[in-house]
Chains A and B, each alone.
Chain A
Amino acid sequence: MSPRARLTLATLAVPVFLLLTVAAVGGILWVDLSAEERHALAGLLAPRVGLMFVFLALAAVCAIAVVRQLHRNYVALPARLAEEARVLLSTGAARPVGVAGSPEVRALVETINALAEHRRSLEDDVAERIRAAMNSVEEEKNRLAALMSELTQSVIVCNLEGRVLLYNGHARQQFRALSDAPAAAGGGELLGLGRSIYTVFDRALVDHALETVRHRLQRGIQAVTHFVTTTRSGQLLRVQMAPVLPGGAGTVVAGGEVSGFILLLDNITRNFETESRRDQMLHTLTEGNRAALANVRAAAEMLDYADLQEELRERFRKVIRDEVQAMSQLLDRTATEFADSLKARWPLEEMLGADLVAAAQRRIEQMVSLPTKLEEVDEGLWLKVDSFSLLQALTYLAHRLSDEFEVREVRFRLVPNGRLVHLDMIWSGQAMSTETVMSWELEAMQFAGESSPLSVRDVIERHDGEMWMEREKVRHRAFFRIALPAAVPQVAQEVPAYPAGEGRPEYYDFDLFSWSERSRALDDRPLAELAYTVFDTETTGLNPSQGDEIIQIGAVRIVNGKLLRGEAFEQLMDPGRPLDPESVKVHGITADMLAGRPAIATVLPAFHAFAADTVLVAHNAAFDMRFLQLKEAATGLRFDQPVLDTLLLSAVIHPNQESHRLEAIAELLGVEVVGRHTAVGDALVTAEVFLALVPLLAAKGIVTLRQAREAAEQSYYARVRY
């Protein structure tokens, strides 16, 4: 019963109660009285009946007033306060409950307010802690991402199903090199978040390695294993596998439980080739000479016999001459052919010659206080050097020149000479004796606080170089010449391109740890959980059935509700037919831009791989799918995964909108449109639109893929057919 109804009831009940009480008292008295007394009383009361009723009415009014007052204080007010307190409870609003009413009620309200205040401060505290924890997690993630991206080794982290959770830039580059269509997908069809590593590596091989890791974990030894594998493109990869242990670092888990694995990749194709060549050379020079040596030796030994006839003696000599000549030729051939493999094995780095000279100048000026100058430096020369030891040697020589021959200045010259580079350190004044040069070359380099066990000769040998002194008599100068093998100029490492305005690409997604392969049929999985390939095509015209062709495919991926801008697919194709001038106005792609591009038959396999295991999303998907389907017969590639159309989904949500053009939907949903009418630009907008549609669909009860497909089919536009 509401307080108001209770008040009405009470207001009515009070006069009724009063009347009943008076009537009852009067009745009992009346019954108790004798006949004479009754008569006397009636005589007494009869003239005062009016007054009695007036008193009675006054009493009723007073009682009603008291009841109303009590109701206000003890029913209405607590009810109001309770409402306010409920608001406080449900919203945690800052406004406290109003203090009013009797002292007891006031005390109660104040206690409630104190409790509310207490709760709010606790909540604030918890929120603050959560924020701090999230910040530190985010920071750690970023630090990890930064670290990974700078690593020169390729790192890939996978969950137990082989889904990629994390990879670094180097891994990306490596896979770019392995890709069949490096220009389009940049290896993204092989390596991407949520993709299966088994598209690259044999599953049995990885399982075997994982088994080894588990065994090693159980036995408590370092749980790392290696394997070497060849890729489809014939590259040789050495892979190191380490486990990801559940429950964070340091927890040793019994039973060899792992929650994922880390792969460190090394492309050893080149090393392997070098090693093989080295082996081959070694073999040629040892085993390859045995037979010839045997011939020579036997013949030579025959010559020792005194009873040899002249004719035979000449034959043996000829054997020796021929064999030795053949061996000399073999030696020369081998030495030339394997010149590169013969170089010293000290790890040398490639360095721009000019940089080396600049560093030498700084070091000599700093450590020896000897002024330096440049004479002639070829800026384009690359050297293969151990820069630290070479700089040490140059500084050491400068030190001795300054110390023992009072040289006031040294100059540098860097010039090419065939396969060699001449690095000269020049000084004016007298030249020293060859013996002195020899001793400088052979003594360990100890000077000005530097103490190296190496001599200049050691350093030069390490570089497979030579050093000597020459005089320029005319100019009264001399110089040390260090001849070093030149290195092939380095091509700047290609940095993968990302759409402008993007920061670090999304290389990691640890949420994938909780993915479970096909744990539910794709159809019954929530839209928010699925992986998507959002794509768009540009075409020569609008009629695929009349021979119009795709000229560009652009695609991006959505994994775990995140748009992966870094893993885009973009490729122009030569359609092998003229462009419709109308279409050129739309996409701005001209025939020049398509000349020399690959044909669709070579691009589709890469796109097929890129879209593997995902749901396809496109705006007006029927159009793009029609083009793809018409290629099925020619390429043998079926795009048979589920397809969602943002146009139809938009029509499901906003059935009353006039236009479902991509721009219109994007505007309605507050998605910024950039770079439209390039395939990848449109794919990006479509992806953003799709991501905005997912929660709106959920609000309409459309949560799973099946529900989305069914809703789309019913939508009006579904009847449009190309």
Chain B
Amino acid sequence: MTKKILIVDDEQNIVISLEFLMKREGFEVLVANDGDEAVRCIRAEQPDLVLLDVMMPKKSGFEVCQEIKADPKTQATCILMLTAKGRDTEVAKGLALGADAYMTKPFSTRELVARVRSLLGMEA
């Protein structure tokens, strides 16, 4: 069965690359442009994994993560947070709020793919 991945980021310039990358890996790809849209989409589509940007309008990635992980219906969703802030304290916060993995921008797309596959329990 094809795994479903949701890309949440307000910057189109990264969404293009991520979308292409994930589709190329054979995933079914959904896109959300802000936090609210992300939460709606996760509830409606039940994706297997969310690539979640932290700094977004309306609702930050942290809030989305917290909401998803607090809801029993959605808490199984894998969350990989992507952030443009490199401070250790933020990494700690993301993981404490329930994110399954955390990557700091800029990242290597190869590594990203590897992390996504391992989070989804697929071979690297």
Contact = CB atoms under 8 A, between A and B. Distances in A.
B21 interface: yes
A301 B84 CA distance: 18
B17 A295 contact: yes
A479 interface: no
A291 B16 contact: no
Interface string B81-101: 010111000000000000000
Contact of B84 (A291, A297, A305, A322): A291
Contact of B13 (A290, A301, A307, A323): A323
Nearest to B17: A298
A139 B16 CA distance: 82
A287 B84 contact: yes
Contacts of A459: none
A301 B109 contact: yes
A293 B109 contact: no
B84 A302 contact: no
B49 to A, nearest CB: 17
Given A287-B85, A319-B16, A301 B105 contact: no
Contacts of B11: 291, 295
Contacts of B105: 290-291, 293-294
Given A305-B24, A316-B17, A323-B13, A298 B109 contact: yes
A93 interface: no
A664 interface: no
B13 A295 contact: yes
A299 B24 contact: no
Interface in A278-307: 286-287, 290-291, 293-299, 301-302, 305, 307
A143 B106 CA distance: 64
Contacts of B109: 297-298, 301-302
A323 B14 CA distance: 10
A312 interface: yes
Q: Considering residues B82, B106, B110, which has the most beta carbons from chain A within 10 angstroms of its beta carbon?
A: B106
A312 B85 CA distance: 29
B118 interface: no
A297 B109 CA distance: 8
A38 B5 CA distance: 174
Contacts of B108: 297, 301
B16 A315 contact: yes
Nearest to A304: B109
A290 B16 contact: no
B17 to A, nearest CB: 4
A86 B53 CA distance: 105
Contacts of B20: 302, 312, 316
A290 B54 CA distance: 13
Interface string B16-53: 11101100100000000000000000000000000000
Nearest to B85: A287
Nearest to A315: B16
Nearest to A303: B17
A316 B107 contact: no
Nearest to B112: A298
B84 A290 contact: yes
Interface in A504-547: none
A319 B13 CA distance: 6
Contact of A302 (B17, B86, B104): B17
Given A291-B11, A319-B13, A322-B13, A298 B85 contact: no
A266 B85 CA distance: 35
A295 B16 CA distance: 9
Given A302-B20, A312-B20, A290 B14 contact: no
B13 A299 contact: yes
Nearest to A291: B84
Contact of B14 (A294, A305, A315, A322): A294
A291 B17 CA distance: 13
Contacts of B14: 291, 294-295, 298
Nearest to A297: B106
22 contacts: A287-B84, A287-B85, A290-B85, A290-B104, A291-B84, A291-B105, A294-B14, A294-B84, A295-B11, A295-B14, A297-B108, A297-B109, A298-B14, A298-B106, A299-B17, A301-B108, A301-B110, A302-B17, A302-B21, A305-B24, A319-B16, A319-B17
Given A293-B105, A319-B17, 7 more contacts: A286-B86, A287-B86, A290-B85, A291-B55, A293-B106, A298-B107, A299-B16
Interface of A: 286-287, 290-291, 293-299, 301-302, 305, 307, 312, 315-316, 319, 322-323
7 closest pairs, A vs B, by CB? A294-B105, A298-B17, A294-B106, A290-B84, A291-B84, A293-B106, A295-B13
